[in-house]
Structure 1
């Protein structure tokens, strides 16, 4: 198969999982290459996501690695199938990470999110999203803001479509009060959230400012459930971009962190009432 210049996050994850299986078996890439009539360099490309691998080869490798985890092997085999989803319309228009996030959400078993300063992307209105992208530095021209907003609105299909994912988000009061746009934009945003809660598209829990013992201001994350816990992924945004974290130690850390933040939040019914009161204050 030809070498890819830029693998998707899903392709890179498949390669990383194959590398972990090989390392768990105590084998070097050159020792495995012969099994596939390949070279160690080509094996490295596969494990970096730069070269494709067929389902048949994955099953052969699993046998060679003495991996008896049938569910894992089936899940990895399924990852060899390239999904041509709606996000492909934005290839070459938006940075690849936008497509990677949409593809990851599409294949998710469930979605859990913690936000501190902004309304979750999956719940944003067009006007709110436009205000977010319009504040970026360096400033984006209108020709780049429009597809970003459209992409964000298309992402919402993961919780509003025919087969919606289970979606839970924990939102700090700061995000609910901060006027990313105008007063009218923020009020409309909160009302839209209430509608999504009422339609059971999202489970929202709020952390009020006056919550005691909450030191999780840096807890923002998207936790994406895989078909198996081992295939979960955590997304974290920073000024330098979006990081995809999937090492088991990292996943354990963020599972614990989500439970801690959840413990500090109001119950869904209380949170709905809290948001309703805020809409009256605006």
Structure 2
């Protein structure tokens, strides 16, 4: 049985289709240019079949794509069709969560802003477990542990060699949430402080005194691809993750993150705020 395409495979196909449509060609016409059937082009663009790097370059050439960086990024994606550690959760978690791990795994850079929750990649095991205990509808104990282990394994991107650069803006409100009680909250803050000392982790606090700011009503997760066209925005909704990749959406969320970072405290002062909140617990 043919495997269901992952989110990354679907994204590859979407970008290939965009190039074809920009060239004003039908799938039939594109197939004729490279000696393929219309159905083969359609399957490529649906992420259902693998494509060689050579064919990607040939299609890009016929599509008159002048962006060599984008062409090479798409060609590289053809050799990254293997499925990673997240596949062990395929029958245990929603597919969108697996797509999130895949996006993070391949990201060149990660940017996050959160208002109420601690970012998943900076959560302790106890903090994550407490969050999943509050999910509605309630999760069974095994399901809670599956989600906890999955969340912790996602954090590997911050510990591999080389690690993925990670920039976080966290609102003071999230730092003062005492999930699991004062002791657990204090341990979570200390963990964030430890992580913020790593060269590839930049943590900024948006204090209450900053007042209103753009994007205040949502958490934003922005994954930079090898080229800007392959960036992805992930919004955490109550019904599950939502992924955005339209050019206008990417531009808007980059601007939101830029403005939030500009309003936030610099890293050193941010650590001072976190230390102070931890002492108050």
Sort the TM-score into its range (normalised by shorter chain).
over 0.9
Correspondence 1:84-163 to 2 at 5 A: 84-163=83-162
Alignment of 1:50-61 (within 5 A): 50-61=48-59
Query: 1:262 aligns to what?
Result: 261
> Would the aligned equivalents of 1:115 and 1:221 in 2 still touch at CA under 8 Å?
yes
Q: How does 1:1-282 map to 2 (within 5 A)?
A: 3-4=2-3, 6-81=4-79, 82-282=81-281
CA contact (8 A) 2:114 2:218 kept: yes
Instruction: Output one character per residue of 1:64-94: Cα deviation in whole Å (capped at 9) or x when no partner.
Output: 1111322211110111122343222322222
Q: What do the CA deviations read for 1:217-246 (whole angstroms, capped 9, x no partner)?
A: 224111101101111111111122211111
Whole-Å Cα distance in 1 between the matches of residues 240 and 46 of structure 2? 20
Secondary structure, aligned partner of 2:24: coil
Contact 1:122 1:156 (C-alpha < 8 Å) held by counterparts: yes
SS of the aligned residue for 1:210 comes to helix
CA distance in 1, matches of 2:195, 2:121: 10
Instruction: After TM superposition, give the deviation of residue 136 of structure 1 in Å.
Output: 0.7
CA contact (8 A) 1:219 1:257 kept: no
Work out the CA distance in 2 between the residues paired with 1:143 and 1:37. 51
Conserved? CA contact 1:191–1:279, under 8 Å: yes
> How far apart, CA to CA, are the structure 1 residues paired with 2:22 and 2:217?
33
Uncovered stretches (5+) of structure 1, i.e. residues with no partner: none
Provide the rounded CA distance (Å) in 2 between the counterparts of 1:125 and 1:26.
50
What's the offset of the Cα at 1:260?
1.2
User: Unaligned 5+ residue runs, structure 2?
Assistant: none
Query: Structure 1 residue 3: deviation in Å?
Result: 5.0
Contact 2:214 2:260 survives alignment (8 Å) = no
TM-score (norm 2): 0.94
8 Å CA contact 1:160, 1:201 repeated in 2: no
Moved more, 44-53 or 256-265: 44-53
CA distance in 1, matches of 2:189, 2:169: 14
The Cα shift of 1:30 comes to 2.2
Contact 1:179 1:186 in 2 (8 A): yes
Partners in 2 of 1:30 and 1:101 — Cα distance? 33
Quote the RMSD (CA, aligned, Å): 1.7
TM-score (norm 1): 0.94
- How many residues are aligned here? 280
Report how far residue 7 of structure 1 moved.
1.1
